[in-house]
Copies of this chain bind each other. A is one copy, B any other.
Amino acid sequence: MRNQSIKLSVDAVVFGYEEGNISVLLIKRKYKPFIGKWAIPGGFVWNEESLENAVERELYEETGLKINYLEQLYTFGKPDRDPRTRIVSVAYFGLVRPSIYKLYASTDAEQVQWFNIDSLPELSFDHYEILLTAIERLRGKITYEPIGFELLDKKFPFSDLEKLYTTLLGREIDRRNFRKKILNLNILDELEEKVSKGSGRPAKLFQFNKKKYFQLKKEGIIFEI
């Protein structure tokens, strides 16, 4: 083969969901290029580690966040995407609840911060394109795969799940239809407990039936919203 001089990196798009807000985790770069600019956490793959280990390691090193499941998103490989040399990056994404994590900027990161996806700073490299791809994938995915387990309280009123979907989809949903579809999946256990929020009637609490939920998730089950 010809002498190949391409480097391989990984990037982690981590979305945070909390009470109607979607944010993304960004770092401020400590080194050139794009010094002082915001970027998606990531870095070079070591020779002996898997891509998954590399992305978890980089995310942890730069942000203090330890996530044990990131899903592969897409590989970005335009020849001129990095001004240094050709770097092809395998991007991953995940969805977490920001409040349960403490952030620590380190290694290549001068600072680390959650940004609401509606008020993003200027991003380095092609990271805006990577982020848009991740948002699109997330919005597509939730229409045919159950999500929420990791993002809601253990016990929650149905309206919290509705709000999660409305926020992630970025549009209103047909509430009656949504309720019917979700309940038909049998992934929720309806509890006897109720919760009072504001001035409304007390609402029944639900919790995910872990076993059924993860089984359906694994099957990549289709349900149209």
Footprint of B on A, CB under 8 Å? 1-2, 4-8, 43-51, 72, 74-75, 77-79, 86, 88, 90, 140, 143-144, 220, 222-225
Cα(A160)–Cα(B142), bound, Å = 31
User: Are B75 and A6 within 8 A (Cβ)?
Assistant: no
CB-nearest residue of chain B to A48? B79
Given A77-B90, A79-B48, A90-B77, decide whether A222 and B4 contact each other with a Cβ distance below 8 A: no
CB-nearest residue of chain B to A136? B220
Cα(A220)–Cα(B225), bound, Å = 14
User: Are B1 and A4 within 8 A (Cβ)?
Assistant: no
User: Are A223 and B224 within 8 A (Cβ)?
Assistant: yes
The complex is assembled from copies of this chain, and their number is 2
User: Are A4 and B47 within 8 A (Cβ)?
Assistant: yes
User: Are A144 and B47 within 8 A (Cβ)?
Assistant: no
Contacts of A78 in B (CB 8 A): 50
User: Are A144 and B79 within 8 A (Cβ)?
Assistant: no
- What distance in Å separates the Cβ of A73 from its nearest Cβ neighbour in chain B? 10
Cα(A225)–Cα(B223), bound, Å = 10
User: Are A50 and B79 within 8 A (Cβ)?
Assistant: yes
User: Are A44 and B79 within 8 A (Cβ)?
Assistant: no
- What distance in Å separates the Cβ of A78 from its nearest Cβ neighbour in chain B? 6
